[in-house]
Amino acid sequence: MLTLKQIYDDKAKVIAGLNKKHFSGAAEAIDEVLRLDGERKAAQQEKDAAAAQMNQISKSIGMLMAKGQRSEAEVAKAQTGELKAKIAEFDQKMAAAEEAQTKLLLTIPNVPYDIVPEGAAAEDNLVVKSNVPHHGGDTVGTWVGEVNNDEAKLPHWELAKKYNLIDFDLGVKISGAGFPVYIGQGARLQRALINFFLAEANKAGYTEIMPPTVVNAASGYGTGQLPDKEGQMYHCEVDDLYLIPTAEVPVTNLYRDVILDEAQLPIKNCAYTECFRREAGSYGKDVRGLNRLHEFSKIEIVRIDTPEHSDASHKEMLEHVEGLLQKLELPYRILRLSGGDMSFTAALCYDFEVYSEAQHRWLEVSSTSNFDTYQANRLKCRYRRAEDKKVALCHTLNGSALALPRIVAALLENNQCEEGIRIPKALQPFFGDDMIR
């Protein structure tokens, strides 16, 4: 969540940033945060004054007793009792103001960086790089053959049926829509991609973590999924546990209430998990097949860093994700998200999209974000500076590297040929063949 220092240092900038995110009632919310902080400070001052008065009176009691002024001492004792009750009242006022302030801050999103484009929706995102000519941004490398919308190409849900790779109907029978069953070469392709992504993360210096896939509410609040995305998370009400929507939640929460040494940073972790999202309100043609699922596999990369180095960390993460798409020989582009399309918690976010030649559209496969101190403030994730030993909030970052469903969709659709479906060279050692036949 936002820090009070951020708000006090530049209230106007915070409100302008929240408006860029299209957060309704930004000015009113920030004013209320400051009003509650004023209440807390006033109660603190009254408490301190009462405590000082009580200490002074307490010191006099012994002196009065020594002088034989017993009645005066009794009066002083009664005064200390009254002051003690007042101090308890001031503590309650402080706690109530702080609790109300924290609840309000938890509902206020992060402030975007200055380079985040203005805009209300995905249409306002800025394409910054692409390996496909004429698709915006800087052209990177050479994409062999301009992407073509070949009407003869089958969408992945038809290819999955033709080659017996994925059974969507069985998934409906067992669980419901959005829970596919991977079969034979389809299951092997999933496993190959998971192992490939983890191997690449290991090469890049990420430590593999195998976390739980259920978390408590404190973990959800720590990374910002709660209360913002409560309706999108699967909740086990009896145990008050949540199925994770991404490995970001458990992996980042490893550092909740932790003070790290600066020498330990940057911390670089990765994790493969199943992810669960209700995707409430998602309907239409864009959710068919693997395009939008309730359960899916994903490899997440998570970094904890110093504020001074987090920008460089973000760039390294972007290069890592881009390298995966290059090795998979997929047409891709990178977008800097507009304020209105960014997540609740991100200060800066880039999306990676791959092109589907059968669906004739771009599919998002990764979001890579810098959260600045927003998550760290919720988590109380801090580090001790080497130079002056002062404790400061860390920066947290994460990204998908990669989410599997739409990668699988693009691989199947873009690589179909008469012989079968071609497997990219980098993936062949993990898949064990050069073709799905």
Q: Are 313 and 269 in contact (CB under 8 A)?
A: no
* C-alpha dist (Å) from residue 250 to 222, 235, 296, 379, 400: 10, 15, 17, 12, 14
Fold for the domain defined by 122-436: BirA Bifunctional Protein; domain 2 (3.30.930)
Residue in 104, 7, 112 with CA at minimum distance from that of residue 348: 112
Q: Are 209 and 268 in contact (CB under 8 A)?
A: no
pLDDT tier, 244 (very low <50, low <70, confident <90, very high otherwise): very high
Ramachandran angles phi, psi of 233, nearest 5°: -100, 140
Residue in 130, 95, 58, 165 with CA at minimum distance from that of residue 335: 130
* All structural domains of the chain with their residue ranges: 4-105, 122-436
- Per-residue pLDDT of 353-373, as tens digits, reads 999 999 999 999 999 999 999
- Per-residue pLDDT of 64-102, as tens digits, reads 777 787 777 778 888 888 899 999 999 999 999 999 999
Q: How far apart are CA 74 and CA 64, in angstroms?
A: 9
Q: Mention the CATH class of domain 4-105.
A: mainly alpha
Its pTM stands at: 0.91
Query: What was the pLDDT predicted at 282?
Result: 62
Query: What was the pLDDT predicted at 142?
Result: 44
Average confidence score pLDDT of the chain: 93
Q: Is 415 helix (H, G, I), strand (E, B) or coil?
A: coil
| Cα end-to-end distance, the chain, whole Å | 51
- Per-residue pLDDT of 230-243, as tens digits, reads 889 999 999 999 99
Residue in 152, 121, 120, 125 with CA at minimum distance from that of residue 136: 125
- Over the Cα atoms of the chain, what is R_g? 28
Residue in 306, 300, 303 with CA at minimum distance from that of residue 248: 300
Question: Residue 97 is which amino acid?
Answer: A
Query: What was the pLDDT predicted at 71?
Result: 79
The two structure tokens encoding residue 165: 């790779």
The two structure tokens encoding residue 169: 């109907």
* C-alpha dist (Å) from residue 307 to 20, 239, 250, 372: 23, 37, 22, 7
Contacts of 434-437 spanning 24+ positions with Cβ under 8 A: 436/163, 436/165, 436/185, 436/189, 436/412, 437/163, 437/185
* Ordered alpha helix ranges (H), 10-67: 11-20, 26-66
Q: Is the peptide bond before 402 cis (omega within 30 degrees of 0)?
A: yes
Say if residue 272's pLDDT is above 90: yes
Q: How far apart are CA 72 and CA 370, in angstroms?
A: 64
Average pLDDT over residues 276-285: 74
- DSSP state, 109? P
